[in-house]
Amino acid sequence: MNINYGFNKFSFQHYTIKIKLCILTEINSVNKLKNTRIYMSEKTKIHLEYMINSSPRILYPFLVEPNELAQWFADDVNYHDGIYEFIWDNESRRARIVSVRDNKYVKFKWLDDEPNYFEMEIMQDELTNDVSLSIVDFVKDEDLDESKKIWDNSISYLQSVIGA
């Protein structure tokens, strides 16, 4: 019995070659992804959460408005053409907002520290209406404890500024 599947010897070889090329392309993509992970692994992702005695509507402007950010997050904050300039001890870092949701969430991407970012999310418990602020940041391993202390102090300033 002779079954014909619609492949002749040439077309079968053609598909085999095509499959091999696809596999090689996927291997190259995986290697590029591994290289990206190696680069990102220079810093550790940290997740912190703080209880804030405030409403999301009052808290949110302190996460996105330059004047309000300057009251607790940095010594000064300038904004021009979509770029935030955060100044600490006469040193500055620039970031832009890459994701935002009013009264809920903001994500800043550092311009000089690809692919790292920091984000702040306002979370409200559905049962108790308690509000917390979730922070995601990337820090070098040797700066982990210091970075957590800086966030602790900054959030403490924020709570005193908003009267929480």
Q: What is the DSSP string of 68-125?
A: HHTTTTSSEEEEETTEEEEEETTEEEEEEEEEEETTTEEEEEESSSTT-EEEEEEEE-
Low-confidence ranges of the chain (pLDDT < 50): 4-40
Same structural domain, 13 and 69? no
Looking at residue 164, its pLDDT comes to 66
Count of domains in the chain?
2
* Cα pseudo-dihedral 49, 40, 116, 154, rounded to 10: 40
Indicate whether 4 belongs to any domain.
no
Looking at residue 66, its pLDDT comes to 96
Looking at residue 15, its pLDDT comes to 40
Same structural domain, 103 and 83? yes
Indicate whether 65 belongs to any domain.
yes
Indicate whether 89 belongs to any domain.
yes
Same structural domain, 103 and 29? no
Looking at residue 115, its pLDDT comes to 87
Q: What is the CATH number of the domain that holds 105?
A: 3.30.530.20
Same structural domain, 61 and 19? no
Question: Phi-psi region for residue 25, left (φ > 0), alpha (ψ -120 to 50) or beta?
Answer: alpha
Same structural domain, 103 and 68? yes
Looking at residue 114, its pLDDT comes to 80
What distance in Å separates the CA atoms of residue 162 and residue 164, rounded to the nearest whole number? 6
Q: Which domain holds residue 36?
A: 9-41
Each residue's pLDDT tens digit, 111-127: 988 888 999 999 999 99
